[in-house]
Structure 1
């Protein structure tokens, strides 16, 4: 029950305060999915790391996250890194250890995911644009 209340408070804060502020920062990493109902682009600020032609991150609410539901409906995504957009295909990685994965990701974001996350899920995006942007 406590996790459910914490999830609702965290999601409310993220949706109405943090995400709105972070989306306008020009170098904030963003994940763009296609809304599974609306068909419209949906942008979510997040943290992660690029490794070669892949981008790795951990979803703090796993399959309860709206962007994870969107990825399940259409895995074609875009990721904005350092102000440049990259096309890719997202893969949910339920067999990857998200706690171990967080150790290799930016610590500021990882702290938030570890602190507020209740259903961690690793995601890998394979970039499809040969130039990486």
Structure 2
């Protein structure tokens, strides 16, 4: 029960405060998915790392995250890295250890994911351009 309340408070803060501010920053990394119900682009600020032609990140709420549900419906995504958009295909990596993965990702974001996350899930985006 306490975990559900923490999830709701965290999601409410992210949706109404943090994400709105972060999306406005020109060099904030963004993940763009297609809304599974609306068909409209949905942009989510997040942290992760590009490794070659892949972009890795960890979802703090796993399959309960709306952007993860969007990926499950349509894995075609765009990622904005350093102000430039890249297209790609997202893959949920269930057999990856997200706690280990976070050690290789930007520490500021990883701290937040570790602190507030309750159902961590690794995601890999294979970048096309």
State TM-score, norm by structure 2.
1.00
| Structure 2, unaligned runs of 5 or more | none
Runs of 4 or more consecutive aligned structure 1 residues displaced over 4 Å after TM superposition? none
User: Where does residue 64 of structure 1 map in the other structure?
Assistant: 64
Aligned equivalent of 2:116: 116
How far residue 63 of structure 1 moved from its aligned partner, in angstroms, is: 0.1
Counterpart Cα distance in 2 of 1:124 and 1:18 = 23
Q: Is residue 128 from structure 1 mapped to residue 121 from structure 2 by the alignment?
A: no
Aligned CA-pair RMSD: 0.3
Tell me how far apart the structure 2 counterparts of residues 54 and 3 of structure 1 sit (CA, whole Å).
Answer: 32
Alpha-carbon offset, residue 54 of structure 1: 0.1
* 2:5 is the counterpart of 1:5: yes
Q: Which residue of 1 aligns with 2:79?
A: 79
SS in 1 for 2:8: helix
Distance in 2 separating the partners of 1:128 and 1:7: 33
